[in-house]
Chains A and B, each alone.
Chain A
Amino acid sequence: MRYRQNREIAWRAIEGEAVLFDTSRGMMRQLNPIATALWERLEREQTMGELVAFVTAAYDVGEDRARADVEAFLSALTERSLVEALPE
Chain B
Amino acid sequence: MSSFRRVLVSPGVALRLVTDDAALGAKIEERLGAHLAGDTPADAELVLDASPIPGAKWDPEILGRLDGDALAIEQSGGRGAFDLAQRHGRMTVSTDVEWFHLYFENALRMILVELGERAGMRICHTAAIADPELPRAWLFHGPSGSGKTTSTEMALARGWRPINDDLAFIGIGDDDRVVVQGCAFHGRTRIRDFAHGQFPVGGLFRLVQSDRHHASPLPLPDAVRELSRALVSWRPRAKAEQEALLDFAGEVCRRTPSFRFEFRKDASFLEAALDGLR
Contact = CB atoms under 8 A, between A and B. Distances in A.
Interface residues of A, number: 15
Nearest to A33: B221
B239 A23 contact: yes
Interface residues of B, number: 19
A51 to B, nearest CB: 22
A30 interface: yes
Nearest to B229: A28
A81 to B, nearest CB: 14
A15 B220 contact: yes
A66 B95 CA distance: 65
Contact of A30 (B221, B237, B247): B221
A18 to B, nearest CB: 8
Interface string B180-198: 0000000000000000000
B157 interface: no
Nearest to A17: B221
A28 B242 CA distance: 11
B174 to A, nearest CB: 25
Q: Which applies to chain B's interface (DSSP): helix, strand, loop or mixed?
A: helix
Contacts of A9: 239
Contacts of A8: 239
A14 interface: yes
Nearest to A36: B221
A30 B238 contact: no
Interface in A31-68: none
Given A12-B250, A28-B228, A21 B221 contact: no
Given A11-B243, A12-B224, 13 more contacts: A8-B239, A10-B237, A10-B242, A12-B246, A14-B220, A14-B221, A14-B250, A15-B221, A19-B225, A19-B228, A21-B243, A23-B236, A28-B225
Interface of B: 219-222, 224-225, 228-229, 236-240, 242-243, 245-247, 250
